[in-house]
Amino acid sequence: MASPVRIAALGGLGEIGMNCLALECEERIAVVDCGLLFPAEPFGVEAISPDLSWLRERRDRVGAVLLTHGHEDHLGALPLLLRDVPVPVYGPRLALALLRPRLEEAGVRADLREVRDGEVVRPGEGSPFAAEFVPVAHSIPDACALSIATPQGLVYHSGDFKIDETPLDGRGTDLSRIEALGREGIRLLLSDSTNADRPGTSLSESEVGPALHGAMEGAPGRIWVACFSSHLHRIQQVADAGRAYGRRLVPVGRSMEESVRLGVELGYLRLAPGQLASFEEARDLRPREACVVVTGTQGEPRSALGRAARGELSGLPVRPGDRVLLSSRFIPGNEVAIGRTVDGLVARGAEVLWEDFRALHASGHAQEEEQRRLVRLCRPGHFLPIHGEMRHLSRHAAHAAAEGLGADRRHVLVDGEVLELSDGGVRRLEERLPSGRVHLARDGGFAAVSEDVVRDRRGLAELGIVLVAVLVDRSTGEPVRSPEIRGRGAAGLSGREAEVAGEVSRAILALPAGERDAASMEREGSLAVRRWFRREVGRRPAVQVVVLSI
């Protein structure tokens, strides 16, 4: 009898981001990816990581982390994990190069082991798993899928992927290898669901080049192109198109400058001598000699594009005649922020183009036809959609159904739920691993912000706060004068402070004399204010009562 294998996601099943998957067998654990999620409504939270406590409590059993590629939503939480669970990380070269500075910033030392395409690694000594890194096309060079041999057969993890027949670097998804694995027999396919609701196939990355070229034609001023900084293939095409018009490439902003430097150093980015210009050099260039590449495609206010849109990029202002190309998808939820950025750019006289007009962007994720093609190539016994919100996971399962996988072979799970592969079959267990979200604020590395703090901040932002100061006589516990009421952002209070003060006094006096300790008076005062607001205003702002005895 072969040992059972248990698979559970700590993140990435039920959300797009914070991908982290654990495989357990014979009390040994292998982890695939460990990423962050970026909140749409920050409230001082800069990132969200999966709850990693289940792994921390089993640190002696964890053999290694297998990294599929270098995106933040796959590696960003690794400093938090490796700090407590110091295991080797196996991954492609670019992923490790992007991870290294994050570990340094967090002061975490780690054993990083570079893996070549097709290489097989054992995640930890004596591990029952062996993982083969299978090349795939995605929106970052070097991305991989994992074919993991287990005592219960092959588990194929797609990573983030698309099927690009004409990839820019010639390194596409290795369809013949996947087909061979399918013939060998794949017990379980885990596949990227991000674009499950998009029919057809994704555009090839190499179709973006001509579109960029066309969009740059005839621009009298500076060209600005916004894209993700780790998308080195896209940056290559921006550089090439710009060069055709005699424009030098000017990376602006910390992450873009760093990414271009790394891309050139590692050979992912090929630029002609003198093609690259620094921010300082760019100030001396004529506008039509510059092709500025920046981040900020999602309307991030602190990005270079966000600053340019507000006129805060001193030395390199956006001016009439400039043309801005957004080489990206508008990620749902970010439209308002993106709109604000575009408005700012237009107000400064720039012309702004995005993928609605031309093929300025190609997604890095497989769409329906590609997802179904992967199912056909893998011919899996069972199917588990990963990397998506609920609607993406269930749509992806429907695509698998259309490829002939019956209901007993499709498993839609969310974070924490456990799928077990055993000799008896594949089924979801009743048990759940602890999973959840940890809110983080930048602090050298990242520090946790508790759920209560975030809830308070959200409440304060939406409904404001009412502050009440009560001076009471130490011996009698009676208010010596009417309580002071102040509101910040609390609608309905202005001009009615005296009413609220009266409620607070009455509530305190209603307490028996022997029970007028500070905590009780604060509790009763606070209840009275809340009651008043609910009754009179129909809202529930935060309330803070402070009782001082004199």
Cβ 138 to Zn ion shortest distance, Å: 6
Cα dihedral 92→94→99→105 (10° resolution): 150
Residue from 24, 142, 160, 389 touching Zn ion (CB under 5 A): that is 160
When the beta carbons of 160 and 415 are compared against Zn ion, the nearer one is 160
Residue 92 beta carbon to Zn ion: minimum distance, rounded to whole angstroms? 12
Nearer to Zn ion, 144 or 223 (CB): 144
Q: Which is nearer to Zn ion, 160 or 368 (CB)?
A: 160
Q: By C-alpha distance, which of 278, 343, 349 is closest to 320?
A: 349
CB of 198 vs Zn ion, minimal distance in Å: 16
Q: Which is nearer to Zn ion, 143 or 316 (CB)?
A: 143
Strand segments (E) across 74-182: 89-91, 112-114, 120-121, 130-135, 144-150, 153-157
Quick check: 116 and 135 in contact, CB under 8 A? no
**Chain residues 55-74 in contact with Zn ion, contact rule CB under 5 A:** 71
Please tell me whether residue 157 binds Zn ion under the rule CB under 5 A: no
Of residues 190 and 282, the one with the C-beta less far from Zn ion: 190
Smallest separation, CB 73 to Zn ion (Å) = 6
Q: DSSP 3-state assignment of 226?
A: strand
How many Cα atoms sit within 13 Å of 12 on the Cβ side? 30
Q: Are 304 and 259 in contact (CB under 8 A)?
A: no
Amino acid at 94: L
- Residues in region 21-40 near Zn ion by CB under 5 A: none
**Alpha carbon distance 61, 228 (integer Å):** 36
Question: Minimum Å distance from CB 77 to Zn ion?
Answer: 14
Nearest approach, Cβ of residue 21 and Zn ion (Å): 14
For Zn ion, which stretch binds (CB under 5 A), given 1-9, 24-32, 158-166, 217-225?
A: 158-166
| C-beta closer to Zn ion: residue 35 or 221 | 35
- Considering only residues 71-130, where is the footprint of Zn ion by CB under 5 A? 71
Nearer to Zn ion, 160 or 164 (CB): 160
Look at phi and psi of residue 492 and say left if phi exceeds 0, alpha if psi is from -120 to 50, else beta: left
Q: How far is the CB of 239 from Zn ion (least distance, A)?
A: 22
71/234 with CB nearer Zn ion: 71
Considering only the stretches 109-117, 157-165, 291-299, 532-540, report the one whose residues sit in contact with Zn ion under the rule CB under 5 A. Answer: 157-165
CB 25 within 8 A of CB 399: no
Residues that contact Zn ion, how many (by CB under 5 A): 2
Residue 305's nearest CA partner among 286, 333, 324, 322 is 324
Identify which of residues 69 and 409 has a Cβ nearer to Zn ion in the complex: 69
Q: Considering the complex, what minimum distance in angstroms separates the CB of residue 161 from Zn ion? A: 9
Question: Can you say whether the dihedral through the CA atoms of 285, 291, 296, 299 is positive or negative?
Answer: positive
Q: Which residues lie below 8 Å from residue 425, measured CB to CB, with a gap of 6+?
A: none
DSSP code at position 407:
G
Distance of alpha carbon 249 from the chain centroid: 28
- Is position 368 an interface residue for Zn ion (rule: CB under 5 A)? no
Nearer to Zn ion, 160 or 355 (CB): 160
Binding segment toward Zn ion, per CB under 5 A, in 2-10, 152-160, 273-281, 337-345:
152-160
CB of 230 to Zn ion, least distance (A): 9
Query: 132 or 160: whose CB is closer to Zn ion?
Result: 160
State the minimum distance, in angstroms, from the CB of residue 234 to Zn ion: 13
Alpha-carbon torsion angle 118, 120, 123, 126, nearest 10: 170
Helices (H) and strands (E) in the chain, counts: 16, 25
- Minimum distance from residue 37 beta carbon to Zn ion (Å): 13
Q: How many residues does the chain have?
A: 550
Q: Where are the alpha helices (DSSP H) in 217-295?
A: 232-244, 254-266, 279-284
Bridge-based pairing state of the strands 20-25 and 28-32: antiparallel
Q: Does 389 bind Zn ion (CB under 5 A)?
A: no
Residue ranges that bind Zn ion, judged by CB under 5 A: 71, 160
